[in-house]
Every structure is written in structure tokens, then in C-alpha cells.
């Protein structure tokens, strides 16, 4: 049955209002402050950026700094799902996808271009492999180091004092005080309490030709 000219299909207006509300909501909430913080130059304004993210709803502890850009994605104002402890440093280029909480502990260091993703999909049918979406909380415990360009997937806990090597993709929980590397990330070695276990910072962050051993 066709709709008479000039008459809106039943239910269309409520749907339009709902969609418009979902799309405009971030602009009408504190989320806009997070977008302002993200637009600041990555090499400066660490203090201002941190204050703006706090005002947007991110829980950031004392002495913690967002030194570079941090991109927050998620429906509405998802900023309240992100918690950062005390004396934690985000170097920059961090992407947090907040469909579930992300809890970052104290004394954590996060390198360049790291991704923390709480949203993924179940495998679907052949015609639509990205099936039903699901969310999982990410926990990064105290003292961890996430080196540059690593990725942490939904539902993962990274244990206290663990190190994730550059470029690793973490798909499962990481035991405390271990070094994980690779795709998918696997335990490479256990780390002692004093950090002198044959693992050097340059070996995790720099190409081989620029490592301390190469020099």
C-alpha cells in the first residue's frame, strides 16, 4: 500500500528524531572537550590536553600526562569508560575504542600509535563475515609498558609489570612480569624485579640498525 502524497510513512519521524539525537549527542555533551583535546598539536600542550580530557569525563589520576594525541571512539560520550591511574604517561597517537571500560593502572607507559580496542565481531555467514558485535573490558595493570604500535584486543588483561613489544597484537591475557611479542603476542621471557634481564629499551622500540647492540 503506497503512502498518500504529502504524508510521512508511519514511524518515520520518530526514527529520524532518534537518529538525529544519536548523531548530535556527542556535540551536546562533554565529549566535545575530548575532540578539542585531540586537535591540539601532539608535541605540546600536554597539561592543557590532560585537563580537557578530565573535563570530558576521563578519569585521570595525579601526575599522569597525555603528552600526545588520544583519539576516543564509541557511542555518545564514552569518555567515562576510560580510567587512567597515577603517574602514567601516554606518549601519543593512542586510540581507545570504548564499547566497554578500559582501566589503565599507575606507573604505566604507553608508546606511539598504540590501539586499545574493546569492540570486535563474531564470525558471521559467508556473505557477512563481520557478524554480531561484542565488547570486552581491557585492563592494563600497574607498571606495564606498551611499546609503539602494539594493539590490545577486547577482554584482555595485561598483568602487573608486563611489557608488550612494539607491533605486537595481544589477543589473550598477559601474565605479570613477562615480555610478550609477535602476532599474536606470546610470552618471550619472564622479567625479574630489577628489570635487568637482557631486555633493553632500544631493542623494543628501534629498528635493529639503530639498537644499542648495533651501535
Residues that are catalytic: 121
CB atoms inside a 10 Å sphere around CB 137: 15
Which residues are 109's β-sheet partners? 89, 145
What the block records as the C-alpha cell of 117 is: 580496542
Q: Quick check: 112 and 91 in contact, CB under 8 A?
A: yes
Instruction: Classify residue 127 as exposed, middle or buried by CB count within 10 Å of its CB (0-12, 13-18, 19+).
Output: exposed
What the block records as the C-alpha cell of 152 is: 590490545
Largest Cα separation within the chain, whole Å, is 79
Of 119, 39, 27, nearest to 73 (Cα)? 119
Amino acid at each position: 500500500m503506497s503512502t498518500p502524497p504529502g504524508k510521512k510513512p508511519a514511524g518515520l519521524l520518530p526514527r529520524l528524531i532518534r537518529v538525529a539525537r544519536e548523531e548530535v549527542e556527542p556535540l551536546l555533551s562533554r565529549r566535545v572537550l575530548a575532540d578539542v583535546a585531540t586537535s591540539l598539536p601532539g608535541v605540546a600542550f600536554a597539561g592543557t590536553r590532560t585537563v580537557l580530557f578530565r573535563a570530558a569525563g576521563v578519569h585521570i589520576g595525579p601526575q599522569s600526562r597525555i603528552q600526545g594525541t588520544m583519539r576516543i571512539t564509541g557511542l555518545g560520550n564514552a569518555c567515562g569508560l576510560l580510567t587512567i591511574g597515577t603517574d602514567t604517561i601516554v606518549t601519543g597517537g593512542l586510540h581507545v575504542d570504548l564499547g566497554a571500560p578500559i582501566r589503565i593502572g599507575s606507573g604505566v607507559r604507553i608508546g606511539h600509535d598504540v590501539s586499545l580496542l574493546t569492540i570486535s565481531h563474531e564470525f558471521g555467514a559467508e556473505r557477512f563475515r563481520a557478524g554480531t558485535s561484542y565488547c570486552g573490558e581491557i585492563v592494563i595493570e600497574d607498571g606495564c609498558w606498551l611499546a609503539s604500535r602494539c594493539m590490545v584486543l577486547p577482554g584482555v588483561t595485561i598483568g602487573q609489570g608486563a611489557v608488550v613489544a612494539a607491533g605486537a597484537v595481544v589477543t589473550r591475557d598477559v601474565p605479570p612480569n613477562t615480555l610478550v611479542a609477535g602476532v599474536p603476542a606470546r610470552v618471550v621471557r619472564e622479567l625479574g624485579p630489577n628489570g635487568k634481564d637482557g631486555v633493553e629499551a632500544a631493542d623494543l622500540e628501534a629498528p635493529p640498525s639503530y639498537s644499542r647492540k648495533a651501535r
